[in-house]
Chain A
Amino acid sequence: MQLGFLINTEKCIGCQSCEMACKNEFQTDAVVHWRRVYPVGEKNYPRPERIFMSIACNHCARPECLRVCPVQAYTKREDGIVVHNHDRCIGCRSCVMACPYRAPQYNPHYRKVEKCSLCYLRIDQGKKPACVDACSVGALQLIRLDKAAVPDTVDRMPGFPDPSITGPSVRFVPPVIGTQVRGN
Chain B
Amino acid sequence: MDKKSVAGSGAIWEKLITRRTFLKGTAVAGAAAAVEGLLNFDFLWHLTPAARAGSNNNDNKYQVFLNVCPRNCYDTCSILSYVQDGVLKKVTGNPEQTFTRGHLCAKGYTYTRRVYSPDRIKYPMRQTGGRGSGKWQRINWDEAMDVIARKILELKKRYGSTLPICLDKYSGNFEIMHYGIEGMMSSIGYTTRALGTPCWPAGIDAQTFDMGTLYSSDPEAMVNARYLILWGVNPAWTSIHSMHFVYEARKRGAKLVVIDPVISQTASKADLYVQINPSTDGALALGMARYILDHNLYDRDYLQNHVIGWEQFAAYLRDRVTTGWASYKTGVPQEVIETLAREYATAKPALIWIGYGMQRHTNGGQNVRAIDALAAITGNIGKTGGGANYGQLETWGFNYHAMGFKAPAGSKGVSKPDGTVSDRFIDINNFGHDVLAAKDPPVKMLWIACRNPLSQDPEAGVVEKAFRSMELVVTVDQFMNRSAQLSDIVLPATTQFEDWGVNASYWHYWVGINQQAIKPLFEAKSDVQIAMALSRRLNQLAPGSCTYPVDGDMQDWLGKEFNAKTYQMLGIQDWRELLKGPRKARLPAASWSDGKFRTPSGKYELYSQEAQKFGHNPLPVYLDEEKAPEKYPYRLLTPHWKLGLHSQFQNLDWMMSTNPEPWLEIHPDLAAAKGIRDGDMVKVFNDLGWLIIKARVTATVPPGIMAAYEAWYRDVDYNVNYTVKATPADMGTKATGNPGIAFHDNFIDITRA
Are A and B co-members of a single complex? Answer: yes
A20-B654, A182-B275 known; A27 vs B56 contact (CB < 8 Å): yes
| Interface residues in A23-64 (C-beta closer than 8 Å to B) | 23-31, 33, 36, 42, 48-51
Inter-chain CA distance A21–B89, complex, in Å, is 13
Chain B residues whose C-beta falls within 8 Å of the C-beta of A86 in the assembled complex = 48-51
Query: B659: nearest residue on chain A (CB-CB)?
Result: A16
Is B56 within 8 A of A13, CB to CB?
no
Q: State in angstroms the CA–CA spacing of A181 and B274 once bound together.
A: 5
Instruction: Tell me which residues across on chain B come within 8 A of A120, comparing CB atoms.
Output: 53
B25–A108 CB distance below 8 A: yes
CB-CB < 8 A to B702: which residues of A?
182-184
- Tell me whether B112 and A24 are in contact (CB under 8 A): yes
- In the complex, which range does the number of interface residues on chain B fall in? 35 or more
- Residue in contact with A107 in the complex, picked from B49, B267, B332, CB distance below 8 Å: B49
Do B109 and A21 touch (CB < 8 A)?
yes
Residues from chain A with a CB closer than 8 A to the CB of B56 are 25-27
Assess whether A181 is in contact with B263, with CB atoms less than 8 Å apart.
no
In the assembled complex, the Cα of A25 lies from the Cα of B56 at a distance in Å of 7
CB within 8 Å of B: which A147-183 residues: 177-183
A26–B49 contact, CB under 8 A? yes
Does A141 interact with chain B (Cβ within 8 Å)?
no
Does A119 sit within 8 A of B, measured CB to CB?
A: yes
Do the beta carbons of B333 and A181 come within 8 Å of each other?
Answer: yes
Q: B296: which A residues are within 8 A, CB to CB?
A: none
A17 within 8 A of B: yes
In this complex, which of B100, B269, B333, B700 has the most chain A Cβ atoms within 10 angstroms of its Cβ? B269
In the complex formed, the residue of B with least CB distance to A84 is: B50
Contact A42–B54 (Cβ < 8 Å) = no
Q: B627: shortest Cβ distance to chain A, in Å?
A: 15
A15 proximal to B (CB < 8 A): yes
Do the beta carbons of B268 and A50 come within 8 Å of each other? yes
Contact of A25 among B90, B269, B698 (CB under 8 A): B90
The 8 Å CB contact of B275, one of A108, A121, A135, A180, is A180
B247 interface contact, C-beta 8 A: yes
Residue-by-residue, is A79-123 near B (CB-CB < 8 Å gives 1, otherwise 0)? 000001111000000000000000000011111101001011110
The distance in angstroms between the C-alpha atoms of A182 and B332, with both chains bound, is 8
B400 interface residue per 8 A CB criterion: no
Q: How far is the CB of B275 from chain A (nearest CB, A)?
A: 4
- A136–B244 contact, CB under 8 A? yes
User: Looking across the interface, which residue of chain A has its beta carbon closest to that of B241?
Assistant: A136
Complex CA–CA separation, A17 to B103 (angstroms): 9
Say whether B293 faces chain A, with CB atoms less than 8 Å apart. Answer: no
Chain B residues with CB under 8 Å of A138's CB are 244, 247
Cα distance, A1 to B653, chains bound together (Å): 38
User: What B residues does A136 contact at CB under 8 A?
Assistant: 100-101, 103, 105, 240-241, 243-244
Decide: B265 and A14 in contact? CB cutoff 8 A: yes
CB distance from A5 to the nearest CB of B (A): 17
Contacting pair B698 A42 (CB below 8 A): yes
Please determine whether A23 and B273 come into contact, CB atoms closer than 8 angstroms: no
Residue of A nearest to B705 (CB): A183
- CB nearest to A29 among chain B residues: B41
Q: Are B109 and A23 closer than 8 Å at their CB atoms?
A: yes
The answer to whether B29 has its CB under 8 Å from any CB of chain A is: yes
Hey, which chain A residues are within 8 Å of B103, CB to CB?
17, 133-136
Contacting residue for A184 out of B102, B107, B703, CB 8 A: B703
Cα A110 to Cα B57 in complex, Å, equals: 21
| A25-B90, A136-B103 given; A109·B29 CB < 8 A | yes
Q: How far is the CB of A22 from chain B (nearest CB, A)?
A: 8
- The answer to whether A181 and B273 touch (CB under 8 A), given A14-B236, A21-B104, A136-B243, is yes
Chain B residues with Cβ below 8 Å from A179 are 271-273
Hey, which chain A residues are within 8 Å of B50, CB to CB? 84-87, 114
CB pair B336 A181 closer than 8 Å: yes
Q: How would residues 52 to 65 of chain B score, 1 for a CB under 8 Å from any chain A CB and 0 otherwise?
A: 11101110000000
Q: Are B49 and A15 in contact (CB under 8 A)?
A: no
User: Is B254 an interface position by the 8 A CB rule?
Assistant: no
By a CB distance below 8 angstroms, the chain A residues around B101 are 136
Picked from A21, A30, A49, A117, the residue with its CB within 8 Å of the CB of B263 is: A49
Contact B110 A24 (CB under 8 A): yes
Q: Which residue of A lies closest to B331 (CB)?
A: A183
Considering the complex, give the chain B residue whose CB is closest to the CB of A107.
Answer: B49
B587 within 8 Å of A (CB atoms): no
**Residues of the B chain whose Cβ atoms lie less than 8 Å from the Cβ of A31:** 23, 25, 657
List chain B residues, Cβ under 8 A from A121. Answer: 53-54, 57-58
CA distance A135 to B241 in the complex (A): 10
Interface centre among B50, B103, B107, B108 (most CB of A within 10 A): B50
The verdict on B45 contacting chain A, using a C-beta distance below 8 Å, is yes
Residue B550 CB within 8 A of the other chain: no
Q: Which of B45, B244, B333, B656 contacts A30 (CB 8 A)?
A: B656
Can you identify 26 A-B contacts, CB atoms within 8 angstroms? Answer: A13-B240, A13-B243, A20-B654, A23-B654, A25-B90, A26-B49, A27-B45, A42-B699, A48-B700, A50-B265, A86-B48, A109-B29, A114-B49, A117-B53, A119-B57, A120-B53, A134-B109, A136-B105, A137-B243, A138-B244, A178-B256, A178-B273, A179-B272, A180-B267, A181-B336, A182-B273
Q: Which residues of A pack against B, CB within 8 Å? A: 11, 13-17, 19-21, 23-31, 33, 36, 42, 48-51, 84-87, 107-112, 114, 117, 119-122, 125, 133-138, 177-184
Which 7 A-B residue pairings sit nearest by Cβ, starting from the closest?
A86-B50, A20-B109, A48-B699, A13-B236, A136-B103, A121-B57, A30-B653
